[in-house]
A = this chain, B = another copy of it.
Amino acid sequence: MTTLAEIVAFLDRELKISEIPDYSGAMNGLQLENGGEVSRIVAAVDASLPVVEKAIAANAQLLLVHHGMFWQGTQAVTGAFYRKLKLAMDAGLAIYSAHLPLDVHPVWGNNACLIRALGITETKPFLDWKGLPLGLQGKVDLAREDLLKLVEHAVGAPVHHCPGGPERVRSVGVVTGGAGSEVAQAAAAGVDTFVTGEGPHWSYPLAEELGLNVVFGGHYATETFGVKALAGALAERFGLDWEFADHPTGL
């Protein structure tokens, strides 16, 4: 058992919460305090009501998520948001959220974990957003269908793809989550195959015209890595239990 304050200080520092830019709704860091101690952590992708219920059922005092509670902006404490806060407060469950700081972490990050799972060890930053590289790229020499199998094995499910590029893959760019809108920027960065979570319909014909392979591994599926890695690291450092609360969206 350790204090919430110690864990928050560790996470804020390791994830560079105050330095890394993000979308205004992300609100990285502690989103709900519990006023006390932590002995068990639950990791999850989204801080939605069903996930909070699972975390409480698991007797956790800290829920560690990638997508926090504030993406919709200021909201009244009524309805589902009231129930979520009331349940969490009554159960003494704190919530900590890390979005881009977790995507880009060199060891526990979603990108780092996924690209390692593809067997790529030499990587460099990829796809700039406000000065922050959102992903990683690296060299391979693989048939496209073999790369697809590696991604499917990593995310644990069949994936969708656009075969707009070469059948022999030599340069892969990875951005977990919903980066499909960035196919033009990905192509301009020189990769021949772009692995991301999801993309809008128009990203497909655009990738075809740009001569780019795109692998859509699932927004949810490509973002389960980071929270698991982070919870594991916390558990080891502070001598805590942890588990993953799976609540997939299929998107």
A residues with CB within 8 A of B: 24-25, 27, 29-33, 35, 46, 48-51, 67, 70-74, 76-82, 84-86, 89, 160, 162, 177-178, 184, 197-206, 208-211, 216, 219-220, 247, 249-251
Contacts and interface: CB of A to CB of B under 8 A. Distances in A.
A48 B205 CA distance: 6
A71 B107 CA distance: 38
Q: How many copies does the complex hold?
A: 6
B201 A200 contact: no
Contact of A200 (B76, B178, B250): B178
Given A77-B85, A202-B67, A184 B72 contact: yes
A239 to B, nearest CB: 25
Contacts of A178: 200-201
A249 B205 contact: yes
A206 B30 CA distance: 21
A74 B25 contact: yes
Contacts of A76: 27, 29-32
Residue of A29, A70, A77, A208 with highest tally of chain B CB at under 10 A: A77
Contact of A82 (B32, B81, B250): B32
Contact of A46 (B32, B89, B160, B205): B205
A49 B160 CA distance: 21
Given A204-B251, A219-B200, A35 B73 contact: no
A67 B198 CA distance: 20
Contact of A33 (B27, B78, B89, B250): B78
